Amino acid sequence: MEVIKKIEKVKKEIGKVIVGQDEVVNFSLIALLSGGHILLEGVPGLGKTMLVKTLANVLNISFNRIQFTPDLMPSDITGTNIIIPGKGEDFQFKKGPIFANLVLADEINRATPKTQSALLESMQEKKVTVFGTTYPLPQPFFVIATQNPLEMEGTYPLPEAQLERFLFKINVEYPPFEELKEIVLRTTGSEEREIEAIMDGEELLEFNKLAREVPVAEKVLDFALKVLSSTHKTSPFATEKVKKYVSVGASPRGIQSIILAAKVMALLDGRYHVSFADIEKVAVPALRHRLILNFEGMSEGIKGDEIIKDILTRVEKG
């Protein structure tokens, strides 16, 4: 399939700029091809911003970056009405940086909850309403937000309602020694690496339509549903860790994210059907930000990943 070959070229072009981070790149592409938004979490300096810029260039889509700070206002994101000089009471809408195919919300948890919530309508409805007038956003439309670990000073936890809007939460880890060495050689030398645009917005939309047509066998769908249901402590499928550490499990958006991402993963693997393995691969990034741990879980340092992986080993297939 021609589009799969293009995706491989996209990965090669990204590899000219981004060293390693294969899982981060792969999951980012799967989320974008699914039509979903992404939350990247990692300490500063790991190349999160560079990855997003590179994705925009290789996919040949319009790009805007919003640096989130404590004094950022909602109108700084969405735009506002301005008075037209010399025309008295006439106003003109000045679009904010949200009007792009790919929007980087950099260090989103540095801003106050009021400003964070300004993204809610645009992420879900793909439109912006200012002073009662609605403006559609360009298509395709993606938000990739980066955030620092919540333990760092000066951060505000994202509201659950906004976390739900992200198809994936992807953890960006510190690079191993060899990759760190390559990063230093690339970024401190004189060679400039030029990347080529491989796809465009229309192709992304077409791939998303194609992915939605991929069938899911009933047994595979039931497995995914059991995984989601297992995150609720009142469910008959709940594991001991869920009952002990989870306060609120994943919502139906979680299963939508799993199935959409699994369909994309199947296509990228050259298959026109979703497998159990596809569900298992996407479950962790699709659910890790949808679990709310109770006090006991937080005090013991339990991570959502640990609970989801435990669920995947215990849910029966078929």
| Residues 175-213 pLDDT 10s | 778 777 777 777 776 666 777 888 888 888 988 888 899
The pLDDT assigned to 37 comes to: 92
224-242: pLDDT as tens digits: 999 999 999 888 888 889 8
Q: Are residues 71 and 51 in contact, defined by beta-carbon separation less than 8 angstroms?
A: no
Distance CA 299, CA 265 (A): 36
- Helix, strand and coil content of the chain, in percent to the nearest 5, comes to 45, 15, 35
The pLDDT of 19-29, averaged and rounded, is: 84
Give how far the C-alpha of residue 248 lies from the chain's centroid of Cα atoms, to the nearest Å: 21
Confidence check: pLDDT of 18 > 80? no
Ramachandran bin of 248, using left for φ above 0, alpha for ψ from -120 to 50, beta for the remaining angles: beta
Domains of the chain: 2-201 (3.40.50.300), 214-314 (1.10.8.80)
Strand ranges (DSSP E) for the chain? 37-41, 63-67, 79-83, 91-95, 102-106, 127-130, 133-136, 142-147, 166-171, 246-248, 292-293
The DSSP output letter for 92 is E
169 - beta bridge partners? 39
Q: Provide the mean pLDDT of the chain.
A: 85
The pLDDT assigned to 189 comes to: 66
Which residue shows structure tokens 């938000």? 143
Q: Are residues 244 and 256 in contact, defined by beta-carbon separation less than 8 angstroms?
A: no
User: How much is the CA Rg of the chain, to the nearest whole Å?
Assistant: 21
109-147: pLDDT as tens digits: 888 888 877 787 788 888 888 777 888 899 999 999 988
The pLDDT of 8-21, averaged and rounded, is: 81
The pLDDT assigned to 172 comes to: 84
Structure tokens at 95: 């679009």
Please state, for a pLDDT cut of 70, what percent of the chain lies above it: 95
The pLDDT assigned to 262 comes to: 95
- Band (87; pLDDT cuts 50, 70, 90): low
Confidence check: pLDDT of 4 > 80? no
Distance CA 57, CA 141 (A): 15
Distance CA 12, CA 237 (A): 41
The pLDDT assigned to 180 comes to: 77
The pLDDT assigned to 308 comes to: 93
232-272: pLDDT as tens digits: 988 888 888 989 988 888 888 999 999 999 999 999 888 88
Distance CA 310, CA 246 (A): 13
Q: Are residues 141 and 101 in contact, defined by beta-carbon separation less than 8 angstroms?
A: yes
Among the ranges given (56-65, 108-117, 131-140, 151-160), the one the predictor scored with the smallest mean pLDDT: 151-160
Is this structure's pTM higher than 0.85?
yes
Confidence check: pLDDT of 151 > 60? no
The pLDDT assigned to 115 comes to: 80
Between 309 and 89, residue with greater pLDDT: 309
Among the ranges given (60-69, 85-94, 111-120, 244-253), the one the predictor scored with the smallest mean pLDDT: 85-94
Q: Are residues 80 and 96 in contact, defined by beta-carbon separation less than 8 angstroms?
A: yes
Strand ranges (DSSP E) for 142-248? 142-147, 166-171, 246-248
Q: Are residues 54 and 15 in contact, defined by beta-carbon separation less than 8 angstroms?
A: no
Distance CA 312, CA 315 (A): 6
Structure tokens at 238: 């709940």
- Band (282; pLDDT cuts 50, 70, 90): very high
**Largest interatomic CA distance in the chain:** 71
Q: Are residues 168 and 39 in contact, defined by beta-carbon separation less than 8 angstroms?
A: yes
